[in-house]
Structures are given as structure tokens and as C-alpha cells.
Structure 1
Amino acid sequence: MTELIEKSKRVLEFNKIISMLKDNIVSDLAKDLADKEDISKDIREINLRLDETTEAVNLIIKKSNPPLFGIMDIKPYMKRLEMGGSLGPEELLNISDFLRVSRYLKSYFSIDPKDPSYKLLPYKAENLSSYKNIEDSINDAIISPEEISDNASPRLYSIRQQIGRKKDAIRDKLNYIISSEETKKYIQDSLVTIREGRYVVPVKLESKSKLKGLIHDRSSSGQTVYIEPMAVVNLNNELKNLYSDELEEINRILRELSQMVAEESYAIAANQNILAELDFIFAKAKLSLELNCNRPLVNEKRYINLKKARHPLLKAENIVPIDIHIGDDFTSLIITGPNTGGKTVSIKTLGLLVLMTQYGLHIPALENSEIGIFDKVLADIGDEQSIEQSLSTFSSHMLNIVEILKYADSKSLVIFDELGAGTDPTEGAALANAIMDYMRVNNIISLATTHYNQLKIYALTTENVANASMEFNVDTLSPTYKLLIGVPGKSNAFEISKRLGLSEEIISKARELISKENIEFEEVLKSIEEERTLIEENKLISERERKNFEEKSKKLEDEIAKTKAKREKILESSREEAKQMLLNARENIKLIMDEIKSLKTELNSDQARRLQDVNDILRDNISDALKPSEKIVIKKASDPIMDLKIGDSVRSPSLNAEGTIIDIDKNGKDVLVQIGMIKMKLPKNSLERSTRDEDKEKEKSKRIMNSKSKYIKTEVDIRGKTFDEAKPIIEKYLDDAYLAGLKQVRLIHGKGTGALREKVKAYLKKNPNIKSAKDAAYNEGGSGVSIVEFK
């Protein structure tokens, strides 16, 4: 049975989908996982897989593709460490990449824990272990698989300094020898070279006895011998010993780094399965986006309802989407129609989308499409003729069908292409009819394509069986690739032949040769097709009119909403203006009344009484002018300031005005605010911070940056300084240059012994604002100057 199921997957082209999926996978580990993943029959497992894919799609849309790199099989490394071994530079760099992707993925999944859209994948990422200290230790010590950093240890740095000095001493000695008047005549070329790891000079063959030393090599022509002069033998020996010390120290550093990894080997190795799984899940999400897929609804009722479904292996622009359903009103579907009309593509689309869903993939159909779960998907599609067995096409198909009938049950989905074809039409139709009836009786969900009229009649007259056809346009003699369920297909042979030029006489003769029942059946189908076409046209007209009506209604609603909004805006503006006018008037009247009050002490009783009458009339008029509906209500601010002081800039939301604090009451609840020319006493909790202070800070920051960019130089000279002395100068200069917006600067550190240069370059690699750092051109300082380019 396994072979039959795998064969069905192959003819449905599921293997090609897995190949497309693997193209989106980064690591070999996840590709192996894709091959091992099987079609699930458990609805909970299927829903979990689909939900993981959905989360990954949403994360890619929200945050772009996740950082997936350096995912590899590190278990052999861990096994070697457990056995007491150590790792080489390349293997340690692989461990560093592996740890870095683990750390980056944890950061990638740092989303709001209350967001219900993400609950599966962040949980997986939480279980990733990250060790930045191990990462940094490896990266600081190892530059590349072939190079260990000078700064890996103080001893290594010291040894390499000694090596550099020793090399200089040897070169100086040899340069003196080859340039000396006494020995220059024996030298073949005025250069120093290396043979067998030792510094030598090239000497003419006939003069080899003239220069005391050890012969290490001879040129291919035999005319030159390479001699190590006795004067540098001891120096070369010392250099060789230093190289041995260097190698010993490098091995010690690698053992130390390997021990750091070994101490966390179990947790690091546990990351491997999680990373592979995340790579696999995100590949499913990438495929979903690539094919414009959606998550289907899943059910255990064996009900399939695909809406606007497309075959995922065909170009979307060349496909007419199909609507197809089965498993509810009927369990068997018989599809008829012309060759190349899309029958086979339709049944393969349905079978393939079922397999994709049960694997955990989204499908190219509308998001409310439904897929039933099946224990087995069995298909007989295409010409599986076997030359070795000398089987005919019919025999080959029948062998497949026999196997399918042996294993198919009520939990299976069975697909037949051109059922009963390849043999005598009468017998083939009878066999096809019997096979489909077996499917119906045993309640097996099945689809079959055919050309036999007998099966069309069977579907019309049998319960739980339905007809479907691929639409064909007789006028253009071409298929429309549209699937019509409930309508049997008409052969159209006579109409097509007539339009292609076959004479009416021959067509009439052909009509006489077929049975009366067939003629009547074809006429019924023709009538059904004409009525269906008319209904379809009316439906399109109605749909078009409905859409026009909805569009006009929507436009009208939008216009009404805009008018209401505009009116409210005008009213609000008028209310604010009136409020401000009343506020100003009330403040002016208050000043007048205070003035009247002060004048009363200077008047006689009669004048004071008359002035009081005027004051009372004025107060009554003010009270009438400010009706309750128009009085200004000072409300509590949404974000009140708690620590006000005199001189602070504040804003009153109730008055929609800004001002400055000029006094604060002893009770601490009220403050006196200067708003323009008006002074007002307002509750403290009705005020919020003014935005003017923030604007001032922004302007100040802008002035600082402009000032920096005006005076910052494009280079800094640190020659003659140790790295510890130069580091604060470099840090400040790079910060200022970056803030000033400079794209490129020069660090002049000189060549010297190379110690300062190497430390500066190592420091620049770690600066997050630096895009690249490289040596200057030869005529601009060469290796004595680093050109720094900012991001």
C-alpha cells in the first residue's frame, strides 16, 4: 500500500511542491526535515502545522525574513569535545555563527507577549540558548579559518612582536651581505627569499664556495643555489623556535576556546533541532507568500469546498481558478468535457491541495476554502504504461485501479482520470459505471473524468453522484477552463466539425447513425447549456448592477460623512472663537469692575451708591451673557503636570491655548497663567506640558550637530601613541564625525611595528556605526592610514 500511496503522490506532483519548498530552506538539516515530514491524518496536528505556517507568514510580513544562517549539524563537534578533543579555527567560527543565529532569532521573536497572533513560534525561540560571551571570545581570537588574531592572548602578541623583530634583524643582515662590495659579485639576484622556512640568498653556482653557509635548494635551471649564510644561521634557528612557540600558543588558545564550548555543549547542541524546525516552518511561509496562498479550514467530515483554487505549479496569470466542492450533497463527482479543457488539471488541483494541507502547507485558494482530512489519497492519472510488462494503456490503468479498490475505504479520497478509457467504448463505459457505483455504495469520496454518456446519465439518475463539466465555447472552438458543477458536458462534436468545414451532408448522415436516445440526450444537454448560459448572463448583469448600486451608495455615504465632518469642524471652530471672545470680554470686564471697586473709596456716599448700581447692572448683564450652555468649563487634563514651577510653559486643553506660569497659590491647587495679554487663575490639574520646550530642545540639538559638522576635521593623527592612549581620541573623533554626518574619515596611525595599526583595525571592526575600514591608497599613506566609511 505504501508504494501505491507514494505513486499517487507522484502522479499528483506532490514531490514537485516539496522541491519548491526545499528551494526556500536555508540549511541541509531543514531539508532533511522536509523529506522526513509525512502527510498527517490527525486534525490537531494538521491545525498546529497550519497555524505555525500562518504565524511565520505574519512575522515575515511584519518584520521581513528572519535571520537564518549558520544552521548546521554541530553534533559531531560536540561529540569530539565530549571525548576530550578540541576544535580548529574553522569549526569554532561555525560554532560562533551557530550561536549568533540563535541569539538573533531570540531577538527577532521579541514581540508583545499579549499579542494573540503569535503564540507558537516565540515559544520555540524561547528555548534557544545563547552565549554571547563564547561568541565574542571566538570572534576576538579568530579572524578567519587561517588566521588567529594577535590579540588572542598577551603571550601570542609578545611572540609575534619578537618574530617581527627577528625577521627584521635577519633581513637587515642578509641585505648587508647582498649589497656588500665583497660578496655582491657572487649573488645571482639582489633579493632575500625563503627556503624550507629559513631566510636565504640566491648565489651563482660557480661561486657557491665563496659564501660560507648552508645550501637549502637549487633553481630549476641549476645555475642558482640558495644559501643560508652562517651569519644568520643562529637567527634563523631562533626564528624557528619562535614559530614553534607561536604554534604552541595558538593550540593552547584553541583548546581554551574549545573548553568554553564543551562546558555548554549540551545546551548548544539542543539548539540544533529548534533552528532546523524554524528554518523548515519559515520555508513553508515563504512558499505561501510566493504562491499567494491562504490557510484553509480543516474538517473531519471529508468535506471539500475549494474557492478560486489554482494549481500551484502553473503560472497564476495563465490559470482560470476553479470552484469545486464534494462530500456534502454528493460523494462522487463525474467530470466531462473536451480534451485539453482542464478536466485533468481540475482533479489534480483538488488532490494536490488536499496533500498540501495535510502536510501543513497553505494552499492557492481563497482563505475560507475547506479541506477534509483523509487517511489515504489514491489517484490513477496519466499513462502509466509498462514496456517491461508489455502492458497496454488500459491494462496499466486497470492494474492501478485494482490496487486502489483493494485499499480504498470510507476514509479515502480516490481520483480517476479517463476512467474506462483505452478499450471497447461499450465495455469501458460499463466498467467505469460499475467502479463508480462501487465507490458510491462504499461511501468513498471519488472524482472521475470521462467522455462516456452512460456516466453522465448515471450521475443524473443516481443519488450521491453529481455531474460536472468543463465549459467550452463553440463560437471560438476553445475551452474556457471553467468548471461547472451540476451540469453534464456536451460533446459538441457535430458543432465543432461543422465550424471546421465538414459538409452538412456528412454531419446529417452521422446524426442518423447514432441512437434516438443519444440524440435526445444531446438535445437535453444542449437545452440545459443554453439555459445555463442565459442564466449566467443574467446573473452577470444583475451582479454588475448590484455593484454599481453599492458603489453609488458608498459614494453618497462618503459625501454625507464628509459634509457632516466639515460642518462639525466649522461649528467647533466657531465655538472656540466665541469662547475666546467671551474669555477676553470677561477678563476686561473683571478689570473694569476691579477699577470701579478701587474708585468707590474716593467717592462720597451718593456717588458710591450710584456707582454700585452701575456695577450691579454690569454683573447681571455678564451673568445673562454667559448662559450655562456657553460658559467655559475647565476640565482636568488627560496628562496633567505634577511638578509645576514659575516660568514653566504650559498648555490648557480646555481653552486650547498656551501660556507661562507666573504664580502658584499656597494651596498648590491653583496657578496664575499668563496667556497672551491675559492673566488667568486655573486649576493645576487642568494644565499639561507645552510642546514649545520640546521644539527648543530639538532646535538646540540641531544647532549642536551643525556646529560639529562645521568644525570637525576629516582625519585624525594618532602616530606615536600607544593604543590605550589613542583609544579615547579615536572614540571621541568617530562619534563626532558620525554625528556630523561625515561619510568617510582617515585615521593616521603610521606603519611602525604594526602593533597600533592591528589594534586600531580590530577596534574598528567592532564599531556598530562603521561600514568598512581599509588601507589608504599607496600614494595616500598606504597601510599607515585607515580609510573609515560610516553606515
Structure 2
Amino acid sequence: MNSKILRTLEYDKIRQQIAEYTVTENGKKLVERMKPQSDYARIDELLDETQDGADILRLKGGIPMPKLLDIRMQLKRLEIGATLNGKELAMIAKVLRATNAVKAFFRELIDDEVALQRLYDLNDQLETLPDVAKRLLNSIEGDGHVTDDASSLLKSLRRQIENTEAEIRDKLSSLTRGSKSKYLSDSLVTIRNDRYVIPVKAENRGQFGGVVHDQSASGQTLFIEPQAIVDLNNRLKQQQLAEKEEVQRILRELSALIAPYTNELSENAWILGRMDFINAKAQYAHQIKATLPEISAENDVYLRQAWHPLLNPKTVVRNDISLGKDYQAIVITGPNTGGKTITLKTLGLIQLMGQSGLFIPAAEESRIGVFDEIFADIGDEQSIEQSLSTFSSHMTNIVDILKHITAQSLVLFDELGAGTDPQEGAALAIAILDAVGTQGSYVVATTHYPELKAYGYERPQTINASMEFNSETLQPTYHLLIGIPGRSNAFDISRRLGLPETIVQSAQQLVTQDSQDLNEMIADLVKKRHDAEEKQAFFKKHLKEAEKLHHDLETGFEKFERQKTTQLDYAKQQANQIVSNAQEKADQIIADLRKMRSQNASTVKENQLVDAKTKLNKLEQPINLTKNKVLRRAKNRKEFHVDDDVLVKSYGQRGVLLRKIDDHHWEVQLGILKMKIDTDDLEKIKVDDQPTTHANVSVKRSSSSGLSTSLDLRGQTKEEALMSVDRYIDSALLAGYPSVTIIHGKGTGALQQAIKQYLSTNPSVKSFNYASPNAGGDGATVVNFK
């Protein structure tokens, strides 16, 4: 389509409204590139995709799609051997994560037997790359942070860094809380030049030794690295450099891992963007209550109750517009401000939307055509720069249109021939319409020239139309009346204003009777054709409803048959149980009879016993569960796949399936842990697009805050215990706990003493005492916060 028609009919505003529903950058780009198509098969394909999106939106709330950035630049850098940073790798990991989520979503749709026309094929083009996805998931968090699990060396280095930092804090705490604290400006520890320092009063700089790294603005405070921690800071710096080098090595390794799959990743990102685009089209259609149009290859356009999508749907007037079947040209006459221009724009914009694969703002059973081009001359486009008047501007546009129209074009003229002498303008309008008709193009033109009314009568495949005018209120109703030429309504208005009836009747006698009869005949024919179209739509709608009802009845009957089979099998099972119990009793009776026979041989005969046993055995009926579709479907629903998101029920934690160990166990990634979990303890869940975080403190979770009111340190070393206590107290303060219990055991008393020393230096601790005898005694300490 030519760009001018898109601007004239405000097609970009439709794009902008659809773009608001996209969540991926590729989806937004596809909206920006969206344009009307002129190939019937392509339009049909695009409408099928929108219909699939609308069905998924109605049944499942839409295709699950997280916010995704464009990764094309990152993939290009990989192709030339560059190393990506953590955030760039996280962007790619998110695309793979979304790919797995979408694949799982479509597996659910297949399980639910949801019928789609195009999107299953599109989904099949996605590549999951399970090995790459697993490696990225284990190594990179959502914010680009490289996890401890990325390599054993990185985990070891970070543990060393934590231990060194803890040792530095211990030494600095002894300075800030001890006898030398009086030499400090403040009892706090800070960092300057990536090294731990303390604020010392300038006059006391010699009390701690070490290196001065900074001073306050007033010069009264010096930030000194005490001599006692210089070696520890040096060690920490070396460990941090080693950690940075290992992170860079991991990033290089991950970049090299991804590099061979740039084509697959690019294709995945494009497909996800297309699904996002389809989601957006479906949501926009739902928002404006648009419907799926039929497509007429013969350009038989029939829009039922159509309205302009950019106007307020609560107040906009809806019109039936038909073109192409009985006539290829419509001439809309009548006074200004009656709605002629908005009718032209409604027809043109709806055609652009339908040919773009969008649902249209019209009632169901509406039809659109397939035009190779749509041209419009609408509005006042006079140009001061080019010294063009309104008439000249219109003529320039019309000349250009006449050069390009074909038999498959739609032309929209607004106020054709306006801006010049009425007699000459009307003649030009007629000649232009004849020229368009010669080319076989479809045309809708508005005019206020009465001479064009006769044109509508005389020319083949041409019909008059007008905008309805209420003679009672003397106001336009904005309803389109096809087949009825515009009237001045002078007779009705004159009556309302008090002109004597004799004068009005005399005027009416001067109007040609043939003209009035022709108007009435055309109006009657148009009304009958409209009624026929409406009846066809009515019967078609009820046929669809009947077909749907038939399908629902078939589905219900199949469900009934399945339930009947299930109930019969259950009844047989119960009956078999009864028979089994009866057999046990019968066997006992027979045993008693045999015993009696052994005592008295003439009492019971053996053949009688065998006959009785045979009859009892025949009572049991076999159960055949192989034909039970419900059980088979339930089994298929429970099947797990690699990279599925699952809930480990016993832990209440979310995890990801890594591999199937055997028929009853899976290996599951739970945060930084890999665990062997029984299949019965797993449950499929939907993907949560929140970044995974790993807690460093092992505490029991409660239903309210998620943090236990007690911390068990038994079995930990002194250093590990102090780090755990430090983090645990921070978490307890954030949770708002007034007190907590620290379980350290009795043992040699070393750990107990270290905990006591730490608590005495923590500014947030109000008091601490041993627990009550029934709560652990001196093996536990109750800590009260300020």
C-alpha cells in the first residue's frame, strides 16, 4: 500500500494502540513493520494467526511471554568471537527460558485438545537447546550475576573472601568497641579505595599505625587502614582479583558455548517476538470488540454495523456498508457535517486493518475485499509553499491517483470537484468518476453537487447514497442510506418553520414525479437487498450455533460413554471383591464339607464339590482398563520432561528437572542444590518470571515471615558460626522479631564464648541470656533486640 493512504486514514494510530500490548522488543518492531497485504493467501494466514491468538486469549489468557530485549547485537558480537558480560548472557538465558516456557505451554494446549490453525507449526520451529539452557541457568542469575555454582574454583574463592572479610571485621570490631574507640570519630567501619578503614580523629592518627586513604572535608577525620589489618586487606585484594579473573574466564567459556547457536537463538527471538505480536493483535481485538472478517476474493464487501475504531465506541454511530456485488461505485450526496467523510474513512481504515490480518470493528459475518491499492483524496490539503489552492491540491492528488489505479483498486473521493465553480466542478466530478469506472476500480465519492444524483441513476454499477437527516429534530443522524440520494429536506424544514402548506404543496408539484418514483423504487430495492444480507447472516450464525451444539453433544456423549465405562469397571471391581470374599467363605465351607466327608464318606460326593467351586469361579468378571481414555490422558498429563518447572511438595520449593534417573526418580535443581527426588513428590507448575535467589543462611521457614525464630549452629566451626549469626541477626531485624534464640550447644564452651563476645559488640542487641532449662539451658542463648 502507498504510504499516503496510511497517513490519510491514520493507520499509525492503530499501530500505536497495538504496540501498547507488546512486551518484547521484537514484538514492537513487528507492529511498526505491520502493513496491509494484497495477497489473498497471506491475508488469510495472518487472520488465522490472529484467530489462534484470540482463542488462546479466551481459553488461557494469552501466550505466556516475559519482557525480552533484542539480542541481535549480542549475537553479532558472538559471531566475531567477542565475550559477553553477565547482563548480556542473562538476556540470552531469558530468551531460552521463555522458549522452554512457550514449548511447555503449547504441550498443555495439545493435552487439552485445543484446535489451532497456525501457531502449532510456529511453535515447532522453536529450538530449546537444553544443554546450553541448563549451563546458563546454573551460571547466570537474572541480573547478570555469575553464581557460585558456575565453577568449583569460583565457589572456593568467594568462600575465602567471606572468611577474610569476617576476620577483618573481627579485628576492626575489637578496635571500634575496645579501649581505643575513644580515638575514633565514629564507631563504624567503612571502605576507601576498596580497602577496609576506620575514621580516626586527626590528632590521634598515630594510635593505630597503618595507611591513611582519605580524610573528611573538614580535615578533622582521617580514614586509616590500621596496621593490624594491612596484610588481611592485601590478602582480600588478591582473592578479589582472583575472583574477577575466574568470572571473566567463566564468561568467556559461556560465550564460546553459545557462539555455535547464534542462528537458533536469533530464530527463537524472532518467533517469540511474532507470538508476542499475535498476542497483542488478539488483545487489541478484544479491547475494541472487533470480529474476524470473511475474505472475498471478488471484492464483495459487506460491513455489518461497522464503526470507526478511533472514535468512542459508546457514542459512535454504526453503519452497514456494501460495495462490489451489485455496484462498484457509490455516490454519497447531501449537506456538510452529516458524516460523509467519516464514512469514507471508516470503509478505508477497516479495509487496511483487515488486509493487515487484524480483526475489524464490525459485526460478525462481515466481509472485506482484497485490493491491491487504496487511494484517497480526503480533506483540505492546500499548500502555501507550493502555491496550491484547495482545488489545485485536490486535482494534483486526483491526477496522481488516476495514473496508478487498476481494476483491483479502491478509490475514496471526499467532496469531489469542490473548490471551483459549481457547474464546472460537477462536470469534472462526473468525468473523473467515468475515468475511474473505465479502469474497473471500486470507488466511493462524496459530493454536495445535486447533478451527481442523476449520475447515480444513469451509470451502470453505480448507486446513490446519503446520510440520514432527522426532519423532526433538524439534525443529522449519521446513518448511511444506500440507494437514497441526499435531499435538501427543504419541504420538511419549511413546514416545521411555519411555511403555509399550500405553498409547500405547490413546490412539491414542481418536482418531477418520475424522480420521486425512482427514488422510492431504488430505496425499496436497497432495503430488500439489505434484508436478504441480514437474513443470510442470521441463518449463517444459527447454523454455526447448531454445529457447535452438535459438537458439544458429541463431546458430551463421548464423556458420558467414558464415565459409563469407568463406572462399570468400578462396579465390576467392587463385584469382584464381593466374589473374592464369597470365594474365601466358600473355600472354607468346602474344606469343612471335605472334613465331614472324611469322617462320613457317604455324606458328600467329590463331583458336587467341584461343581460348586466352578460356579463360584464363573461369578468373577474381568476388568479391561486399556480402553479407558480418561486414565490414559491423566497419565499423559503427569509426564515430565527435561527443563520442566516443578514444585517439590515435601520441601515447598520450586525446581527445574535436569535428567530422569529411573522410572521413579528425577534429578532436580533446587537453587544451588541438585537432589534426587521421587516422582510422586513432584508437581508441574507454570514458569514464574522472577529471578532465582539463593539464601546463604540455612534456617527453617515459617508460614508468616519465612524466617525461623531460632538458629542452630551445632556442628559448625567458629568462623562459620559467626558468619551465620551475623547474617541471621540482620535477617531477624528486617523481619521485625523482638528476640531470637541461638542454639550453640555446650561442648567445650569455645563457641558459646565466641557468640557471647560477638553479641556484646553488636549495636542492635539490647541484652542476651541463657535459655530457660526446658528450652536448652546454657546450650542456647536468647537475644533481645533494641
Deviation at 1:670, TM superposition (A): 8.7
Residues 466-475 or 772-781, more deviating: 772-781
User: Is the Cα–Cα contact under 8 Å of residues 485 and 519 in structure 2 kept in the other structure?
Assistant: no
Specify which of 323, 334, 339 is matched with residue 337 of structure 1.
Answer: 334
Deviation at 1:178, TM superposition (A): 4.6
Deviation at 1:152, TM superposition (A): 3.6
Q: Distance in 2 between matches of 1:337 and 1:453?
A: 8
Q: Distance in 2 between matches of 1:750 and 1:129?
A: 46
Specify which of 125, 134, 159 is matched with residue 157 of structure 2.
Answer: 159
Q: Distance in 1 between matches of 2:130 and 2:565?
A: 50
Matched, 1:684 2:621: yes
Matched, 1:380 2:377: yes
Q: Distance in 1 between matches of 2:391 and 2:351?
A: 27
Q: How does 1:98-247 map to 2 (within 5 A)?
A: 98-110=95-107, 111-112=109-110, 117-143=115-141, 145=143, 147-179=145-177, 181=179, 183-247=180-244
User: Is the Cα–Cα contact under 8 Å of residues 72 and 272 in structure 1 kept in the other structure?
Assistant: no
**Which amino acid in structure 2 is aligned with residue 393 of structure 1?**
T
Matched, 1:777 2:736: yes
Which residue of structure 2 aligns with residue 292 of structure 1? Answer: 289
Matched, 1:83 2:42: no
Which residue of structure 1 aligns with residue 417 of structure 2? Answer: 420
Q: Secondary structure at the match of 1:112?
A: helix
Which residue of structure 2 aligns with residue 582 of structure 1? Answer: none
C-alpha change, 1:661 and 1:271, in structure 2 (3 Å) is farther
Q: Distance in 1 between matches of 2:62 and 2:578?
A: 46
User: Is the Cα–Cα contact under 8 Å of residues 471 and 492 in structure 2 kept in the other structure?
Assistant: yes
Deviation at 1:472, TM superposition (A): 1.4
User: Is the Cα–Cα contact under 8 Å of residues 333 and 448 in structure 2 kept in the other structure?
Assistant: yes
Q: Secondary structure at the match of 1:449?
A: strand
C-alpha change, 1:756 and 1:265, in structure 2 (3 Å) is farther
Residues 236-245 or 485-494, more deviating: 485-494
Q: Secondary structure at the match of 1:316?
A: coil
C-alpha change, 1:265 and 1:528, in structure 2 (3 Å) is closer
Q: Distance in 1 between matches of 2:566 and 2:374?
A: 66
**Which amino acid in structure 2 is aligned with residue 372 of structure 1?**
G
C-alpha change, 1:339 and 1:164, in structure 2 (3 Å) is same
Gaps of 5+ in 1: 551-634, 652-658, 674-680, 695-711, 715-723, 763-771, 785-791
Matched, 1:251 2:248: yes
User: Is the Cα–Cα contact under 8 Å of residues 356 and 362 in structure 1 kept in the other structure?
Assistant: yes
Q: Distance in 2 between matches of 1:520 and 1:108?
A: 70
User: Percent identity over the alignment?
Assistant: 38
User: Is the Cα–Cα contact under 8 Å of residues 179 and 190 in structure 1 kept in the other structure?
Assistant: yes
Deviation at 1:394, TM superposition (A): 2.0
Q: Rg: which structure is higher? A: 1
User: Is the Cα–Cα contact under 8 Å of residues 647 and 661 in structure 1 kept in the other structure?
Assistant: no
Which residue of structure 2 aligns with residue 41 of structure 1? Answer: 38
Deviation at 1:518, TM superposition (A): 5.6
Which residue of structure 1 aligns with residue 459 of structure 2? Answer: 462
C-alpha change, 1:112 and 1:189, in structure 2 (3 Å) is closer
Matched, 1:73 2:73: no
**Which amino acid in structure 2 is aligned with residue 398 of structure 1?**
M
Matched, 1:476 2:473: yes
**Which amino acid in structure 2 is aligned with residue 314 of structure 1?**
L
Q: Distance in 2 between matches of 1:667 and 1:293?
A: 76
Specify which of 35, 59, 64 is matched with residue 62 of structure 1.
Answer: 59
Deviation at 1:526, TM superposition (A): 8.3
Q: Distance in 1 between matches of 2:505 and 2:381?
A: 34
Which residue of structure 2 aligns with residue 276 of structure 1? Answer: 273
Q: Distance in 2 between matches of 1:348 and 1:669?
A: 89
Which residue of structure 1 aligns with residue 386 of structure 2? Answer: 389
Specify which of 402, 407, 424 is matched with residue 404 of structure 2.
Answer: 407
Which residue of structure 2 aligns with residue 350 of structure 1? Answer: 347
Matched, 1:445 2:374: no
Q: Distance in 2 between matches of 1:303 and 1:407?
A: 22
C-alpha change, 1:667 and 1:452, in structure 2 (3 Å) is farther
User: Is the Cα–Cα contact under 8 Å of residues 26 and 69 in structure 1 kept in the other structure?
Assistant: yes
C-alpha change, 1:245 and 1:451, in structure 2 (3 Å) is same
Which residue of structure 2 aligns with residue 595 of structure 1? Answer: none
**Which amino acid in structure 2 is aligned with residue 486 of structure 1?**
G
Q: Deviations over 1:394-429 (max 9, x none)?
A: 222122112112222222111111112222222221
Residues 226-235 or 470-479, more deviating: 226-235
Q: Secondary structure at the match of 1:45?
A: helix
Q: Distance in 2 between matches of 1:225 and 1:104?
A: 55
**Which amino acid in structure 2 is aligned with residue 130 of structure 1?**
T
Specify which of 93, 110, 121 is matched with residue 96 of structure 1.
Answer: 93
Which residue of structure 1 aligns with residue 258 of structure 2? Answer: 261
Q: Distance in 2 between matches of 1:16 and 1:728?
A: 51
Q: Distance in 1 between matches of 2:10 and 2:176?
A: 76
**Which amino acid in structure 1 is aligned with residue 39 of structure 2?**
D
User: Is the Cα–Cα contact under 8 Å of residues 335 and 450 in structure 1 kept in the other structure?
Assistant: yes
User: Is the Cα–Cα contact under 8 Å of residues 197 and 226 in structure 2 kept in the other structure?
Assistant: yes
**Which amino acid in structure 1 is aligned with residue 236 of structure 2?**
L
RMSD: 4.9
Q: How does 1:284-323 map to 2 (within 5 A)?
A: 284-323=281-320
Deviation at 1:520, TM superposition (A): 5.8
Residues 201-210 or 273-282, more deviating: 201-210
Q: Secondary structure at the match of 1:260?
A: helix
Matched, 1:504 2:441: no
Q: Distance in 2 between matches of 1:647 and 1:87?
A: 67
Deviation at 1:668, TM superposition (A): 13
Which residue of structure 2 aligns with residue 325 of structure 1? Answer: 322
Q: Deviations over 1:444-475 (max 9, x none)?
A: 21111122221111212322211112221101
User: Is the Cα–Cα contact under 8 Å of residues 670 and 684 in structure 1 kept in the other structure?
Assistant: no
Deviation at 1:122, TM superposition (A): 0.8
Q: Distance in 1 between matches of 2:138 and 2:711?
A: 21
**Which amino acid in structure 1 is aligned with residue 735 of structure 2?**
A
Aligned positions, number: 625
C-alpha change, 1:176 and 1:366, in structure 2 (3 Å) is closer
Q: Deviations over 1:503-555 (max 9, x none)?
A: 6389969997xx987676886688779x969x99xx99xx9xx99xx9xxxxx
Q: TM-score, normalised by structure 1?
A: 0.68
C-alpha change, 1:368 and 1:461, in structure 2 (3 Å) is same
Gaps of 5+ in 2: 543-563, 588-608, 632-649, 653-669, 683-700, 744-786
C-alpha change, 1:498 and 1:219, in structure 2 (3 Å) is same
